[in-house]
């Protein structure tokens, strides 16, 4: 993933391996488990309540959804709005910063359309290779 910087970076022995790749922190933020489905759902369907997100992301537990939403809010990718009514209502929406990831996700979706079949074929070839 860091091939673009490979020619100009200092030798790995001279740097911290975790800092050698400039996109590492982005990958940690955006591609941790459940982050992508949450951001996709908020981007696609707009502002949602917790229970709506929970229904759309069927396999996520309420505890994990709460944790991920808090982290995404902390990272500035999601905005939480509390409505002090009876009963209280909380809504989540993707922030402007979160929306700025749309071209990245679109590019990844394009790559997936053109390459996931090749990945599946490579996995099949690897798994069925009698030399392994």
| Per-residue DSSP letter, 94 | E
* Averaged pLDDT score across all residues of the chain: 88
CATH of domain 14-100: 1.10.10.10
3, pLDDT greater than 80: no
Q: Are 69 and 81 a contacting pair, CB within 8 Å?
A: no
2-11, 88-97, 109-118: which has the minimum mean pLDDT? 2-11
Quote the pTM value: 0.76
pLDDT tier at 5, thresholds 50, 70, 90 = low
Longest CA–CA separation in the chain, Å: 66
pLDDT tier at 11, thresholds 50, 70, 90 = low
**Domain positions in the chain:** 14-100
How many C-beta neighbours within 10 Å does residue 61 have?
A: 10
Q: What pLDDT, in 10s, does the model give residues 103-113?
A: 988 999 999 99
Closest CA to 73 of 60, 54, 92: 92
Q: What pLDDT, in 10s, does the model give residues 58-97?
A: 899 999 999 999 999 999 999 999 999 999 999 999 999 9
């Amino acid at each position: 993933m860091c091939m673009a910087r490979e020619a100009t970076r200092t030798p790995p022995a001279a740097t911290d391996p975790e800092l050698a790749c400039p996109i590492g922190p982005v990958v940690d933020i955006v591609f941790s488990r459940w982050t992508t489905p949450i951001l996709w759902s908020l981007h696609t369907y707009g502002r949602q309540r917790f229970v709506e997100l929970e229904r759309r992301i069927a396999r996520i537990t309420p505890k994990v959804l709460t944790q991920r939403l808090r982290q995404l809010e902390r990272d500035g990718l999601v905005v939480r709005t509390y409505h002090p009514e009876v009963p209280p209502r909380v809504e989540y929406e993707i922030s402007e910063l979160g929306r700025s990831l749309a071209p990245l996700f679109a590019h990844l979706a394009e790559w997936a359309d053109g390459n996931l079949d090749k990945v599946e074929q490579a996995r099949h070839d690897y798994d069925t290779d009698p030399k392994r």
